[in-house]
Structure 1
Amino acid sequence: MLIKEEFRDARLYQRFEHIIIIILTAMIAVIVVVAVWNLSLKILFGLILSGNLDPSDYAIFQAVFGMIFTVIIALEFKKSLLVIAERRENVVQIRSVVMIALLAICRKVIILDIKETDALQIFALAAAILAPGIVYRLTRDSDQRLVNTS
């Protein structure tokens, strides 16, 4: 985060951007807390206490892990906002965005009903995972080269 001296010296747009990032980060933190609370209640009361928690039931597995991945995506998004606020290198920002995309696609794969999905859609999802995976790998390698040359 910008310290007070840097904030005073920052241009108007940088101040505006920093304030917006702080507001968005706070909003996402509230959303994550509420999502974890709701997830806990659904698992505890909706599944465990009612006796419906059957790990072999794929629909329950999809629902629970879909909700968990949603929270993880929100946390990664909050983390990427904090990276922007701290003004780190652009490579880190790109990796964060690609990581969010990968998590979102993986969530889609987890909640996907295989019985009702045609092969072309599964192939498209595989390509959608492969493309950001390659980008993530390339940016990671690029970041490691920057660290090694420093």
Structure 2
Amino acid sequence: MQTNEQSNHQTQDPVLSFFNRVISQVARVLAAVMVMVIIWGVADVVYVLYQRLMAPPFMLLEIKDILATFGAFMAVLIAVEIFHNIILYVEDNHNRQLAVEIVLGTALMAIARKVIVLDFNEVGAEHVYATAAVTLALSVGYYLIVIRRKGSNS
């Protein structure tokens, strides 16, 4: 049985071994692109914050500006979490349990970002209920997979 040097997947088929190497390289490219997105996101946050602070009234932010800034910060943090998930696939010893934890954590962060920037005057009740249902489902999933398992290991 042959072990791919880039993955812990074992296969006897040379075609599947080749595919595993291709996927590993694709994940590396995605990681590099994600680093550029993160840097671009940080630069955008700094630029937008600078613009809003320099606009009249000078050095003051309105609540909508603060919420937009929080949303931009959260978007960068979500990109960082996605980068960590990509790295799990690139590393030789990736842990599927940890990958699920990171995906759930990233999804919770994304829904939290949505809730933070949600303008309740602009959306209908069904959108708010749907957001609440997704938040509840992700929270329960995170509890069952991450918190409860860690509590039982202690």
1:85 corresponds to which of 85, 90, 115: 90
Unaligned runs of 5+ in 1: none
- SS in structure 2 at match of 1:6: coil
CA RMSD of aligned residues (A): 2.5
1:70 corresponds to which of 72, 75, 84: 75
Question: For the Cα contact (< 8 Å) 1:54–1:60, is it kept in 2?
Answer: no
1:37 aligns with 2:51: no
TM-score (norm 1): 0.81
Tell me, in whole angstroms, the C-alpha distance in 2 between the residues paired with 1:26 and 1:70: 17
Higher helix share: 1
Tell me, in whole angstroms, the C-alpha distance in 2 between the residues paired with 1:95 and 1:6: 25
Cα deviation for residue 101 of structure 1 reads: 1.4
Unaligned runs of 5+ in 2: 11-16
2:142 corresponds to which of 136, 139, 145: 136
Moved more, 82-91 or 15-24: 82-91
1:21 corresponds to which of 11, 27, 37: 27
Provide Cα deviations, 1:103-123, integer angstroms capped at 9, x if missing partner. Answer: 111111111111222333212
Tell me, in whole angstroms, the C-alpha distance in 2 between the residues paired with 1:58 and 1:39: 16
1:49 corresponds to which of 54, 58, 65: 54
Question: For the Cα contact (< 8 Å) 1:91–1:143, is it kept in 2?
Answer: no
Cα deviation for residue 89 of structure 1 reads: 2.1
1:116 aligns with 2:115: no
